[in-house]
Amino acid sequence: MTALTVLLALNAIWFAMAFDAFYRRRKIFGKVMVPIQADRDNSAYEALVESGRFMGGFNLALSAFNVMLVFNFGGFEADTQWATLLIFNALAHGSQFFGNVPMAMQNRRGGGLWPVFKGVMLLIFVIDFTLMVANAAMAFWLLA
């Protein structure tokens, strides 16, 4: 198994886990995002929970995309083609990581709506950063 195949498989697994968290287990994820019970008694909280279906759907598509890449259904041969796809993955993970940075900064000052440096959110923060860097590094290695 090549490093590229392993990285694509890791992307597929991570995006599949995000699908599960956002779509199938959206009520649990809602509780992670809004940890204080009293803050959940409103329609905005319910909208957040239900929006998980949209986020889950995108992550399912990204997972399927990476599975197809593992098996090279597109017939990609050139390193530049693979690099383009890896840059796409790096951006997908990076948008998740950088989306949490402002909340992490608020956490460091004692605020923030959800804890980025604890539990599930810390795992998400670290893995998205790691996969962003790994995808970008392999893309640049392929382009060099």
User: Are the C-beta atoms of 15 and 63 separated by less than 8 Å?
Assistant: yes
- Predicted structure pTM score: 0.85
Pull the structure tokens for residue 119: 């539990």
Give the type of residue at 118: K
Residues shown for the chain: 144
Distance of CA 118 to the CA centre of its chain: 17
> Which 8-state DSSP code applies to residue 15?
H
Instruction: Report the distance separating Cα 18 and Cα 24, nearest Å.
Output: 9
What is the per-residue pLDDT for 72?
Answer: 87
What is the per-residue pLDDT for 1?
Answer: 59
Pull the structure tokens for residue 131: 């996969």
Q: Is 22 exposed, middle or buried (0-12, 13-18, 19+ CB in 10 A)?
A: buried
Q: Which residue, 129, 116, 111, is CA-closest to 33?
A: 116
What is the per-residue pLDDT for 114?
Answer: 84
What is the pLDDT tens value at each position of the chain, 144 positions in all?
599 999 999 999 999 999 999 999 999 999 998 989 999 999 999 999 999 998 999 999 999 999 999 998 778 889 999 999 999 999 999 999 999 999 999 999 999 888 899 998 999 999 999 999 999 999 999 999
Pull the structure tokens for residue 108: 């460091």
What is the per-residue pLDDT for 76?
Answer: 87
Task: Say how many Å lie between the first and final Cα of the chain, rounded.
Answer: 22
CA distances from 57 to 28, 52, 139 (A): 17, 8, 26
Q: Which residue, 93, 89, 97, is CA-closest to 121?
A: 97
What is the per-residue pLDDT for 6?
Answer: 96
